[in-house]
Structure 1
């Protein structure tokens, strides 16, 4: 069976099948196989190689050359996104929320080819609050809030006065009234006629999301090629996926935690690799993908996204000395002493601390001499 073969032999078998279909000569096929095996052997890691240390150095050294600014995102002047060293730190720290969350939303054909439909969908996603739609006045004499709605904005955002009144009624728990004269006005009165209640209402009315998704502050439409794409300031992956017209197969967010909770650990691993690679590439730095893949694998190998720090990977090391060398040294040593922990001295850090060779490279090879003439 092909799946039971070692990787090099499996690759050669596939190549032979492809060569028969492509009508490649035997000599050409042998040359291709030789080159392939040569490249494969070159790409393999030497036994006992300290891959973790090499990866850490390979990512850490370019990290010292990174700038620390916030840039405009890929030509979208309205949306800022954190790049450079702060973004790389966010990724390896597995932050629950990035400092500048954003989404790239691809649309289905009906919406991606029509700007009006794309704009309509954008208003379904972008959160609308009362300050976007109206002027709010506090009428102390009559103990009420007077909301004067902007008619053009209501038409543009496709939201009716009754919808706004219903949202305010549910959110405020107060008396909401739509007078016949003048038009486009809503009056809100507190249930108890007190100044404190009125001022609380005036504050609370600005917090209610009247349309769209809470947390999506802005949506920008850009035409890329033949289709329109939405870029958002703010990220709410699960809720955006529920909106009709969004292409769920091509949606992306820079919030790795959301990708993990919605799509699972494999998607989160790919997102870590993509985000770290793009952050380095944007700065003009080239790091071999395998170093970044190793970091992503370590962060996700337990089935959840963990940071590389004392609350994640480094804090869960089996070695007492390795944990103590990282941070909060005294606490680790005291706790280990109270529990009676034993350190097996298998890693790099702990062997350096006690002054003996590390178990990597030549330090992992033991020579045994046979003694003759002994019973």
Structure 2
């Protein structure tokens, strides 16, 4: 038998009732492979059978299975809160604390970080990436030099480090102008030193002014406290401690399509709810795989769908999904039992007993699987 052309193979695959991604994967795997009509029919038959077996059965308790599938490996996760993850001096929360952060939809993760990829024109140029890194990193006066006091004439002396000044592409005049904007005192430039003489300050006022001067921002993005550059394959990647996605993706040289953050709420605000859903799936899978655990992606996708179904990222807890269940008994079984029952009694709520938890509480079969089927016995005997 003659081999089929690529167009014929694609046409046959398009006729199948398969998800788009699965059909495209099948086309990609058969690219450049010589197959006859008989072989293609056998391949299609096996793929259809595998897809049919993988589908969820009617009345299957997908929520319970997803909870068990994620919860059981969770018992084997370590409590390591900090780990270097191959990047020097950048702390990342991993293990069980990270999973808890994700499902609790925390406003800010305990260790926010970003992975910034560059556009192709500068991705391989270390100097250009380093320059961009200095533009991103938050730089205060205390990073540029030593701030001290001279009690003999009640003045403040800022000893600027020449190397730091050069690295960050700033001049002494720019530093002096920025300080003047913040404190209304004109610093005098003496070689690599700035001298400030406040008007008749007390010793306490002088020390307070020193602390204020130390924290004056000179350059960079507020919130990005550290930048580390690392070479991966043929390009340089910037890792940051701190996350400000909205501002970072506006910088020239940053590739916004490949730049990411571990702050899911920030992704929802900047890129939308679909991006946040994908981030929940990716972050959860990455955390589990780092611990050497495997969970079917469909269970994690179900959790991500439930967390984002209303157009905002909601936690799996009494202030989110569990607290918004229609069933009174199900809400009461989760947390703050008395409050839920009291509020429901005042409002005159009715529990339809359709879920798993509430049926277990009242001691009747759950309406899932075989419990969802009612059999009716019909007599076949004829009346004389």
Give the TM-score, by structure 2 length.
0.89
Q: Who is 1:85 aligned against?
A: 96
CA deviation digits over 1:311-349, x for unaligned, max 9? 111111111111111101001111111111111111111
Structure 1 residues 112-261: aligned runs within 5 Å:
112-172=123-183, 174-179=184-189, 182-190=190-198, 193-261=201-269
Q: Which moved more, 1:52-61 or 1:336-345?
A: 336-345
- Report the RMSD for the aligned CA atoms in angstroms: 2.6
- Any idea what the Cα deviations from partners look like across 1:56-77, whole Å, max 9, x if unmatched? 0010010000111145443212
Counterparts of 1:35-46 in structure 2, within 5 Å, are 35-46=46-57
1:96 match:
107
The correspondence for 2:274, drawn from 256, 266, 279, is 266
**Is 1:307 paired with 2:315?**
yes
Q: TM-score, normalised by structure 1?
A: 0.91
Cα distance, 1:228–1:68 mapped onto 2, change above 3 Å: same
Aligned residues: 368
Kindly state the Cα deviation for residue 215 of structure 1 after the two structures are TM-superposed. 1.3
Q: What's 2:17 paired with?
A: 7
Distance in 2 (CA, whole Å) between partners of 1:104 and 1:126 is: 13
Post-superposition shift, 1:79?
A: 1.2
> Does structure 1 retain, via aligned residues, the 8 Å contact 2:285–2:297?
yes
Which runs of no fewer than 5 residues in structure 1 stay unpaired?
A: none
CA distance in 1, matches of 2:153, 2:291: 59
Separation in 2 of the partners of 1:96 and 1:241? 20
Q: Distance in 1 between matches of 2:346 and 2:229?
A: 60
Worse overlay, 360-369 or 84-93: 360-369
Distance 1:161 1:192 in 2: 26
- Which residue in the other structure is 1:107 paired with? 118
Q: Would the aligned equivalents of 1:72 and 1:78 in 2 still touch at CA under 8 Å?
A: no
Please give the alpha-carbon distance, in whole angstroms, between the structure 2 residues aligned to 1:226 and 1:354.
62
What's the offset of the Cα at 1:171?
A: 2.7
* Native 8 Å contact 2:226 2:241 kept in 1: yes
Contact 2:179–2:187 (CA under 8 A) maintained in structure 1: no
Quick one: distance in 2 between partners of 1:234 and 1:136?
Answer: 25
Residue 287 of structure 2 is matched in structure 1 by: 279
Structure 1 residues 203, 6: CA separation in 2 closer, same or farther (over 3 Å shift)? same
Measure, in 2, the Cα distance between the counterparts of 1:72 and 1:160: 38
Q: Which runs of 5+ in 2 are unaligned?
A: 1-11
> How far apart are residue 270 of structure 1 and its match?
0.6
For 2:42 and 2:138, the matched residues in 1 are separated by: 60
Alignment CA distance shift 1:290-1:193 (3 Å): same
